[in-house]
């Protein structure tokens, strides 16, 4: 179903006709080979996204814990994954079980009278096209919202609600509804198609590309997967084209350069640099950070991180970046990503970690931020929302170049919850695909969370990557629902050899 993404009555008709055709001809046939995802019913019931888990507070990261993981690794390397798992389970408490969502259903005739009533009421009102706000609410949105809430397995309900929000120009709601459906039913290509359509409507090419790629990775044998891979490449090219034209035409960067530096020539410097693209711009930011920081030159440590980082980056799908991995001599436990795959670790972070799986977990998360262009987009967004001057007020007064100031701007701001989640989703998939225990990042967050009461240092990473109970629970659900392996390779010995305690 390919909906026309314009606010006109054509679109209304298309939606209605598509569904009527689909339902009456009963031709909604979906692959039975796709996994049925599992999501907690709380997600469906009361809009509260996640239940709270206390597990992360109860894991004891003692020497016994790592001795067990070390023992498990010996079996893992021999190919005895079952024994490795049993040993890890002795020290890793089970996550609370995530419940299954209802089975997906695309056929309205299989639902009861109440569901049909919701559907028909909304469809009739959409056909009639009421203009009074009250009628739109009571006759269209209320029945559709009830339908989605009470019959969450009914896929066309989610899609129609999202499209109806779009019809009434409610971008955020449209995307929220389809995103939620796609989290609950990640294997449904009808949900994916609709999500991609909406993302493209709102000019979110990079997100559309990632959605298509994510599906292709998760379901490599599905018949539409080659098409999704091609689409992912196409949307990505569109994203790059749009980004370039935005930078060239908007004058955004001229203004941020001026805010940052107060003079025209620096403004020009920043604009020109950003026009060179994410990779080169990232290089310039990285160079300025390196010039201001005490860098660690231990080649064994740098090579170790680089080997793992490059391996993970290859699984992410942005080959045009020159990935680099740096260590800053700083005792606060922090790690961050600059545009174009330039990743930095503080020594304090490396001291906090005890296994390769933990390192890989943080690496994958940071690389994902770069791959998703979070830092790069932040520059433009900050200028657009006119917060650049506020953000920069904390760094002015220091005699550093324009590039350095924007570099600091990138570091001083934390990412939104949505962006953190995107980086978690992509990072965890790659962590699992690389064969590491999929709870590597989770365990680092849990350690920081346990430490945060005792040490100011722990707040450092947490301020940019919050480890709320909600997020911990979300990571637990993600690992379970996607079927990731929590008992993979830990690499305790390998890590200790490079970073001795
Ligand atoms: Zn993050």
Least confident span in 21-25, 109-113, 125-129: 21-25
Reduce the DSSP state of residue 355 to 3 states and report it: coil
Q: Which tens digit of pLDDT belongs to each residue from 320-349?
A: 899 999 999 998 888 888 889 999 999 999
Res. 307 pLDDT band, cuts 50 70 90 = very high
Cα–ligand 1 centroid distance for 285 (angstroms): 18
Cα–ligand 1 centroid distance for 337 (angstroms): 9
Cα–ligand 1 centroid distance for 459 (angstroms): 14
Cα–ligand 1 centroid distance for 270 (angstroms): 25
Torsion of CA 460, 406, 233, 6, to 10 degrees: 100
Cα–ligand 1 centroid distance for 366 (angstroms): 6
Q: What angle do CA 357, 358, 360 make, to 5 degrees?
A: 65
Residues 475 and 491: their CA atoms lie apart, in Å, by 21
Q: What angle do CA 399, 403, 408 make, to 5 degrees?
A: 75
Cα–ligand 1 centroid distance for 333 (angstroms): 13
Residue 248 CB neighbour total at 10 angstroms:
12
Mean per-residue pLDDT over the chain, rounded: 79
Strand order, beta sheet including 335-338: 324-328, 342-346, 335-338
The runs of H, that is alpha helices, within 296-439 are: 299-314, 347-352, 356-371, 374-384, 388-393, 402-412, 417-433
Cα–ligand 1 centroid distance for 445 (angstroms): 11
pLDDT of 429 over the 70 cut:
yes
Contacts of residue 86, Cβ cutoff 8 Å, sequence gap at least 6:
none
Cα–ligand 1 centroid distance for 420 (angstroms): 5
Contacts of residue 134, Cβ cutoff 8 Å, sequence gap at least 6:
none
Res. 451 pLDDT band, cuts 50 70 90 = confident
Cα–ligand 1 centroid distance for 384 (angstroms): 22
Q: Which tens digit of pLDDT belongs to each residue from 392-421?
A: 333 333 334 555 666 566 665 677 777 888
Cα–ligand 1 centroid distance for 465 (angstroms): 5
Cα–ligand 1 centroid distance for 287 (angstroms): 21
Q: Which one, of 15, 13, 11, lies nearest residue 1 by Cα?
A: 15
**DSSP for residue 154:** B
Residues 260 and 281: their CA atoms lie apart, in Å, by 16
Q: Which tens digit of pLDDT belongs to each residue from 62-101?
A: 999 999 999 999 999 999 999 999 999 999 999 988 777 8
């Amino acid at each position: 179903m390919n909906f026309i993404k314009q606010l006109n009555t054509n679109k209304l008709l298309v939606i209605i006709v598509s569904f009527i055709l689909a339902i009456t001809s009963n031709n909604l046939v979906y692959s039975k080979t796709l996994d049925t995802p599992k999501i907690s019913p709380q997600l469906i019931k009361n809009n509260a996204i996640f239940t709270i888990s206390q597990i992360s507070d109860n894991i004891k990261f003692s020497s016994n814990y790592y001795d067990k993981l070390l023992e498990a690794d010996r079996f893992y390397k021999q190919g005895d994954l079952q024994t490795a798992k049993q040993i890890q389970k002795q020290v890793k408490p089970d996550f609370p079980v995530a419940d299954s969502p209802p089975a997906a259903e695309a056929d309205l005739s299989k639902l009861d009278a109440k569901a049909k009533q919701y559907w028909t009421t909304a469809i009739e009102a959409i056909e009639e096209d009421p203009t009074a706000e009250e009628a739109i609410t009571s006759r269209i949105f209320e029945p559709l919202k009830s339908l989605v809430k009470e019959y969450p397995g009914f896929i066309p309900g989610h899609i129609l609600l999202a499209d109806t929000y779009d019809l009434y120009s409610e971008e955020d709601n449209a995307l929220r509804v389809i995103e939620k459906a796609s989290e609950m039913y990640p294997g449904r290509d009808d949900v994916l198609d609709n999500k991609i359509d909406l993302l493209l409507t709102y000019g979110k090419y990079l997100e559309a590309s990632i959605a298509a790629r994510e599906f292709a990775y998760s379901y490599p044998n599905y018949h539409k997967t080659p098409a999704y891979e091609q689409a992912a490449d196409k949307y990505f090219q569109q994203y790059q084209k749009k980004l370039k034209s935005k930078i060239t035409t908007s004058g955004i960067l001229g203004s941020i350069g001026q805010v940052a530096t107060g003079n025209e020539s620096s403004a020009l410097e920043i604009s020109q640099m950003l026009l060179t693209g994410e990779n080169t711009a990232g290089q310039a930011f990285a160079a300025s950070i390196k010039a201001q920081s005490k860098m660690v030159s231990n080649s064994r440590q740098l090579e170790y991180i680089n080997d793992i980082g490059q391996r993970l980056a290859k699984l992410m799908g942005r080959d045009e970046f020159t990935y680099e991995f740096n260590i800053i001599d700083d005792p606060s436990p922090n790690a961050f990503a600059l545009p174009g795959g330039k990743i930095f670790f503080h020594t304090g972070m490396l001291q906090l970690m005890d296994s390769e799986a933990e390192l890989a977990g943080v690496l994958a998360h940071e690389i994902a931020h770069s791959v998703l262009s979070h830092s790069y987009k932040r520059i433009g967004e900050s200028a657009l929302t006119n917060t650049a001057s506020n953000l920069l007020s904390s760094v002015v007064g220091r005699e550093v170049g324009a590039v350095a100031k924007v570099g600091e701007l990138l570091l001083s701001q934390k990412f939104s919850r949505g962006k953190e989640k995107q980086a978690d989703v992509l990072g965890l998939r790659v962590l699992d695909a690389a064969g590491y225990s999929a709870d590597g990042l989770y365990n680092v967050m849990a350690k920081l969370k346990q430490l945060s009461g005792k040490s100011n240092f722990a707040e450092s990473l947490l301020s940019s990557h919050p480890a709320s109970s909600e997020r911990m629970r979300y990571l637990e659900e993600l690992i379970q629902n996607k079927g990731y392996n929590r008992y993979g390779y830990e690499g305790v010995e390998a890590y200790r050899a490079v970073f001795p305690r």
